[in-house]
Amino acid sequence: AAQGVILPYVYTYAGGQYQFSQLPGGSFLPWQGAWVYVVPGTIGSIAQTSNALTMIIPPAGSLEGSSFSRATAGSSTPTPAPLWTLNIQGVRSGIPGTGVTIGLGDVNAGSRSAGAPVPPMVGHYVEVASIPNTTTGLQYMQDIRSATGTQTWKLNVSTDASTGAPVTISWPGIVHVPRSYSITLTDPSTGTVVDMRRNSSYQVAMPVGTNSRALTVAVSPDPFMGRAVLSGLSINELASARGTSGNTYDIAYNISRSAQVTVSVVGLNGGNLGDISSTRAASVGTNHVTWNAADGSGRILPAGVYTVVVRAVTSSGQVSRVSYPVTLTGR
């Protein structure tokens, strides 16, 4: 591995799933099969010299093993620990699958040093893999990207059967992904976009005759940790058709992301007088609500000082609010 001939991973297969360990971890156990990945670009040089790649695996605890470990440990640079990882798993008709681990870490942009290619599937299988390079088509069961800007993973969900049974993918470790990142899954075939914080799984349709589907996962820095930022709240009285005061007001506000928004009015004593605008979807940018100076029951409010409160709830459940005083002159 230190010479770049093989990748530093040892793969094993158990319970219908592949697992891998990164060197210097991992063990070769007697009578248990294991896989290693030979870097394709080195195959030609190997063939020219010996027509075979010989792996020398000293027994654990032997003098050879100790010296071998010391020599290789000093000659290879371990992959830095990722900032965070997320495993995405697949299941079809009760058959567990081999999942993919995505994440962000201290790796060079475009580097695959933190990528573990998928070994050959055997028997009945379900596989979720990342395809970082569509030109080569090589699939990875671990794909750690640089923690810079937005990162998008193209995932391939595949199975050995084409009977029409769907594949359910899930991501149980989402709670370990920092809130400072937004993470969404998109199904290009249906246009479905899934907030992976609000949903724990997604069912991937596999029509009869189909045994693979493409999905994408996008991760973006989110300094507001899922909250919608409300700003620019203003309340302006509108003129009537005759050009005089009509006691009708335009409430305007800016919002940084789509959310469900409710506008309410509060009295001078802090009492809630009800919603003056029912909850509705607000899109990014400037939004407007027309208010006739009435409370939540439709009764016209007397002259006085009130507070208008705009409350936004995002799809991830994050709540934001902003308030603004308004003086009503009465009619």
Q: pLDDT, tens digit, for every residue of 30-60?
A: 777 787 777 776 555 544 455 456 666 666 5
What pLDDT is attached to residue 20? Answer: 75
pLDDT at residue 22 above 80? no
Average of per-residue pLDDT across 90-97: 85
Provide φ and ψ at 311, rounded to 5°: -120, 130
Whole-number pLDDT of residue 57: 66
Q: In 3-state terms, what secondary structure has residue 273?
A: strand
On the question of pLDDT at 152 being above 70, the answer is yes
- Is the model more confident about 270 or about 119? 270
Reading the block at residue 72, the tokens are 């290789």
- CB neighbourhood size of 158 (10 A): 22
Location of structure tokens 């990875």 = 140
User: Tokens 């469900």 correspond to what residue?
Assistant: 260
Mean pLDDT for the stretch of residues 299-320: 90
**pLDDT digit string, tens, across residues 241-283:** 554 456 789 999 999 988 999 999 999 888 999 998 889 999 9
Average pLDDT over residues 107-136: 72
Environment class of 21 (CB within 10 Å of its CB; exposed 0-12, middle 13-18, buried 19+): middle
Label residue 64 by pLDDT band (50, 70, 90): very low
In the predicted model, is pLDDT for residue 73 greater than 50?
Answer: no
Lowest mean pLDDT among 132-136, 201-205, 209-213: 132-136
Task: Please count the other Cβ atoms lying within 10 Å of the Cβ belonging to residue 161.
Answer: 15
User: pLDDT at position 225, please?
Assistant: 75
Strands (E), 160-242: 167-170, 181-187, 192-195, 201-204, 212-221, 230-239
